[in-house]
């Protein structure tokens, strides 16, 4: 679908827009400009935990005292695992992997969640800010191309708390904020000038479908506003000479059976209200899981894998909407120099 450079095999939609040698992560620029900003944001984030409005659920519990709301996370975050991940987009995984830190629990309750052991049951262990700092530095030492916070919507204060000591100990990789899209504007603004790459899902367009499949009707509106704010902060996705992402917005959309997700509306929104240069990964890995397989009669419309024709229809809808930077796997990955 995309032209490739005959010498580098880098698709045209990920060709160099920034030089790796000249790139400085956003948080390092902010750190050098005004370190008090970090201190103030950490303090503000911890204050928010006392009457929690970290995410759009607005539970108003005192998480500093380990009172639990919808996300079931108290003062400290929980992490299920951290490792170099080779299953992410090419522009993130590269040849050494994306340095993923998977936070346990979630502020949504997707009935089809393929990570329900983590998001619903909270598999993992409680960690301190010092622990998260150590994870980031360990992933950097292992050669990962970025630090990829997975499902951070409900633990933004805890993430913020871990970044300054990581900077002091030499962190220098781009930070990826990998989210469901159900983020509060307040939390996103705390991350302004700190996150380099925002990677939200846009799961459902219709509030009724969102309520039925995720128990949250406000998801579409919240996600639209969140993506607007993310794009305001970082702009369109920019990559280096090796096709590795350095800064910008990357949107994921999981194709669902029978068109229940509303991809045509989602793609039109991205093209018309965000940017026609929005980089998007149209994902085909849906399969029935979690509550869908436990209650098949209730979730009949999504109780099967997607068809090839449904994937092709989604890709065509994206192109028809005016989007042209569709993620594809390359034949090879490796540094040019």
Please report whether residue 22 resides in a domain: yes
Closest CA to 107 of 193, 261, 222, 199: 222
Please report whether residue 305 resides in a domain: yes
The total number of structural domains in the chain stands at 1
Give the domain range for residue 256.
Answer: 15-326
pTM: 0.94
Contact 99, 146 (CB under 8 A): yes
Q: Which residues contact 52 (CB under 8 A, 6 or more apart)?
A: 58, 59, 60, 61, 62, 63, 69
Dihedral pair phi/psi, residue 265, rounded to 5°: -65, -40
Q: What percent of the chain has pLDDT over 90?
A: 88
Please report whether residue 29 resides in a domain: yes
The reported pLDDT for the residue numbered 7 is 36
Biggest CA-to-CA distance, the chain: 58
Q: pLDDT of 61-120, one tens digit each?
A: 999 999 999 999 999 999 999 999 999 999 999 999 999 999 999 999 999 999 888 887
What's 157's domain CATH number?
3.20.20.70
Please report whether residue 153 resides in a domain: yes
Please report whether residue 143 resides in a domain: yes
Please report whether residue 8 resides in a domain: no
Q: pLDDT of 175-224, one tens digit each?
A: 999 999 999 999 999 999 999 999 999 999 999 999 999 999 999 999 99
Please report whether residue 282 resides in a domain: yes
- Bridging pattern class, strands 175-179 and 125-126: unpaired
Beta bridge partners of 199: 178
Please report whether residue 4 resides in a domain: no
């Amino acid at each position: 679908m995309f032209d490739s450079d005959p010498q580098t095999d880098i698709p045209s939609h990920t060709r160099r827009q920034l030089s790796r040698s000249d790139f400085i992560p956003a948080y390092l620029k902010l750190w050098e400009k005004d370190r008090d900003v970090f201190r103030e944001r950490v303090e503000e984030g911890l204050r928010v935990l006392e009457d929690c409005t970290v995410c759009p659920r607005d539970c108003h519990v005192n998480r500093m005292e380990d009172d639990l709301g919808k996300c079931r996370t108290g003062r400290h975050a929980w992490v299920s695992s951290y490792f170099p991940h080779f299953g992410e987009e090419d522009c993130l995984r590269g040849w050494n992997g994306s340095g993923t830190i998977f936070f346990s629990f979630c502020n949504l309750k997707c009935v089809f969640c393929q990570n329900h052991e983590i998001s619903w049951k909270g598999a993992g262990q409680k960690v301190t800010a010092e622990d998260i700092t150590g994870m980031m530095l360990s992933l950097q030492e292992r050669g990962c191309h970025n630090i990829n916070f997975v499902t951070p919507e409900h633990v933004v204060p805890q993430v913020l708390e871990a970044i300054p000591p990581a900077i002091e100990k030499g962190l220098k990789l781009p930070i990826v904020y990998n989210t469901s899209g159900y983020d509060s504007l307040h939390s996103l603004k705390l991350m302004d000038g700190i996150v380099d790459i925002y990677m939200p899902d846009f799961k459902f367009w219709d509030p009724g479908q969102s309520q039925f499949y995720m128990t949250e009707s406000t998801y579409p509106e919240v996600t639209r506003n969140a993506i607007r704010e993310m794009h305001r902060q970082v702009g369109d996705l920019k990559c280096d000479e090796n096709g590795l992402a350095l800064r910008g917005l990357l949107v994921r959309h999981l194709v669902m059976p029978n068109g229940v997700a509303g991809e045509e509306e989602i793609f039109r929104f991205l093209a018309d209200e965000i940017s026609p240069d929005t980089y998007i990964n149209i994902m085909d890995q849906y399969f029935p899981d979690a509550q869908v397989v436990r209650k098949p009669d209730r979730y009949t419309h999504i109780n099967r894998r997607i068809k090839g024709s449904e994937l092709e229809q989604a890709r065509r809808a994206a192109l028809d909407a005016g989007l042209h930077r569709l993620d594809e796997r390359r034949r090879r990955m490796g540094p040019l120099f």
